[in-house]
Amino acid sequence: MSSVAESWRLAVATAEYTAVGVTRLLEGIRQACPEARFYQASSSEMFGRARETPQSEATPFYPRSPYGVAKAYGHFITVNYRESFGLHASSGILFNHESPRRGQSFVTRRISRGVAEIKLGRSDELVLGNLDVRRDWGYAKEYVEAMWLMLQQPDADDFVIGTGVSHSVRDLVETAFACVGLKAEDHVRVDPALARPADIEDLVADATKAREKLGWEPHTSMEEVVEKMVRADVEALERKA
């Protein structure tokens, strides 16, 4: 379960997959292959109503969704197995990372796909929820490189991965429409019913530890990621025409 929005609809399943599922994997490694290297996909959603900005590995968690709560469990059980059984189990606390492969249930892909459909005349309106929340968006390919680097380290550890820059959903929408020469205000409608029961106002990463220990840095801006996504969706829809 990787969707915050879906976790509200499937709260119990989210706990089974995203929380207890991690324990099952770690227990299997402990019993059958303790020399294996394990990567836990932790999440910036664990910070939730963040106690400080930006958020680092030392920032307390305050999750605001079933997804965030389950991720916090998965994160701490990974720390426990690492410290208790000596497993090489690292957690990457990844902030939002996007690419043209992002699932269509996620807001970034809904935006890029919706903009592509409007550009090609297949739609005229993009309906979204809260446009004012802010997130730290990066490029998924670079974040996977950070995951790989974690598993090459002699000792397992936890690392925040992000760009250190936050943007609002409104910024992202305007960037997406600009990619195809359109204006967001001409096509976007806000539907309050699409807002989550509880949301997070602002998340932004402090990835100092990753830079210093992994030698990792982001190189692709939010604007560049959005352009990749919009262009890919336009091309995909044109092929289906």
Q: Tell me the residue range of the domain where 166 lies.
A: 4-240
Average pLDDT over residues 144-163: 98
- What is the reported pTM? 0.94
pLDDT for the residue numbered 192 = 86
d(CA 49, CA 94): 16
Q: Is 155 exposed, middle or buried (0-12, 13-18, 19+ CB in 10 A)?
A: exposed
In Å, how far from its chain's centre is CA 177? 22
Q: What distance in Å separates the CA atoms of residue 127 and residue 113, rounded to the nearest whole number?
A: 12
Residues carrying an active site annotation: 43, 45, 67
| CATH code of residue 71 | 3.40.50.720
Position 58 pLDDT exceeds 80: yes
**SS3 assignment, position 38:** strand
Sign of the CA dihedral with 33 first, then 93, 157, and 207 last: positive
Is residue 3 packed enough to be buried (19+ CB in 10 Å), middle (13-18) or exposed (0-12)? middle
> Residue 33: pLDDT band by 50, 70, 90 thresholds?
very high
Confidence of residue 136 (pLDDT cuts 50, 70, 90): very high
Mean pLDDT of the chain: 96
Contact (Cβ atoms closer than 8 angstroms) between residue 119 and residue 234: yes
Using CB atoms within 10 A of its CB, is residue 197 exposed (0-12), middle (13-18) or buried (19+)?
A: exposed
Q: Please write the tens of the pLDDT for every residue from 199-235.
A: 778 999 999 999 999 999 999 999 999 999 999 999 9
What's the pLDDT band for 195 if we cut at 50, 70, 90? Answer: confident
Kindly give, in sequence order, each residue whose CB lies less than 8 Å from that of residue 72, ignoring residues fewer than 6 positions away. 46, 61, 63
pLDDT at 194: 78
Q: What is the pLDDT of residues 70-129, one digit of tens each?
A: 999 999 999 999 999 999 999 999 999 999 999 988 999 999 999 999 999 999 999 999
Structural domains counted in the chain = 1
